[in-house]
Amino acid sequence: ITKKLLAASVAMAAVLGMTNAASAQVVVKYAHVVAPNTPKGQGAEFFKKRAEELLGDKVQVEIYPNSQLFDDDKVLAAILRGDVQFGAPSLAKFGKWTKKLQIYDLPFLFKDMDAVSCFQNGDSGQELLNSMNGKGLTGVGYWHNGLKQLSANKPLRMPTDAAGLKFRIQSSDVIAAQFEAVNAVPQKMAFAETYSALQTGVVDGQENTWSNIYSKKFFEVQDYITESNHGLLDYMVVTSTKWWEGLDPEIRDGLAQAMKESTDYANGLAADLISEQRQAVIDSGETEILQLSGDEFKAWQGAMKPVWDQFSGEIGQNLIDAAAACNS
């Protein structure tokens, strides 16, 4: 009997030990809304790969693309609840949490992606990663997508061409003001609903990056794309401050290392992936690409730039000046 009891308790200990080992594994969920074949989708997969290489069985990273788990309007609250550990909404989606990040939506703020990197890597950009700490969110990095293009079911060459048209926009007051500045009608809508809204004519147009236009097939349901490069669509990868600070230091260091490497990876591949996807849209022959003349470009700039004054109070002129300095 004693032997049997001993054997049973050894077996029990083994089971308990296994359970403990299993429960010690940290499950890290990363939810986003775009397709895997985008800069953010590729960066997220690289993060999983590196985190699991660096930390072995101690972590299990699960990536949920394509709005499978949360839309961007829900993901930040889900991070705070602990339902998911990382998200990377576009910088246009943080209006409820901080007004400072509205800077990134100002039309014609950055002349190219080098200027964007200059600002994000500088003091002001780095401070903005902490702009939501008071709300329990920490930014752990910026990931690029790229500059936005305008598309519609009619050719947009001059700002007056947009008058009266309905555009799907991300949930940003700055972007709403940008379309109102050209007498268009902005409609805030989840990314996941955009394709069908374009297809059914609920909206006439939208603005997005080449990568999103390609991977979500918006080009198949838009007759014209104007290569306007009029604004930025980039991301902040965010996590819960409390969860992050409460992690075992070894795990936090490993995840921080994986995040740093995946940030470099995603930002390194963005430009090439986007130019491939731009070319694929052109080669599809499904839509006509319009290039703006110098005067046409200036007309859009002139029409949209007054939006800066509407938001400079909330954003802070010092931030706008720091961004503008990166263009020179």
Which residues contact ligand LMR by CB under 6 A?
33-34, 90, 145, 170, 191, 208, 212, 233
CB nearer to ligand LMR: pick between 90 and 296: 90
Handedness of CA 174, 195, 37, 283 (dihedral sign): negative
CB nearer to ligand LMR: pick between 171 and 287: 171
CB nearer to ligand LMR: pick between 262 and 322: 262
CB nearer to ligand LMR: pick between 156 and 175: 175
CB nearer to ligand LMR: pick between 211 and 241: 211
Exposure letters 58-82 (e unless 16+ CB within 10 A, then b): bbebebbbbbebbbbebbbebbbee
Q: Considering the complex, what minimum distance in angstroms separates the CB of residue 184 from ligand LMR?
A: 17
- The three state secondary structure string of 228-276 is CCCCEEEEEEEEEHHHHHHCCHHHHHHHHHHHHHHHHHHHHHHHHHHHH
Number of Cα atoms under 13 Å in the Cβ half of residue 104: 35
Q: Name the 3-class secondary structure at 30.
A: strand
- Rounded CA-CA distance 185/241 in Å is 37
CB nearer to ligand LMR: pick between 207 and 296: 207
How would DSSP label each residue in 197-227? HHHHTSSSEEEEEHHHHHHTTGGGG-SEEEE
3-state helix, strand, coil in the chain (%, to 5): 55, 20, 25
CB 85 within 8 A of CB 240: yes
Please tell me what DSSP assigns to residue 90.
B
Q: How far is CA 255 from CA 137, 252, 268, in A?
A: 16, 5, 19
CA dihedral 164, 170, 175, 178 (to 10 degrees): -20
Which position has the token pair 């007498």? 183
Please tell me what DSSP assigns to residue 142.
E
Looking only at Cα atoms, what is the longest distance across the chain? 94
CB nearer to ligand LMR: pick between 212 and 287: 212
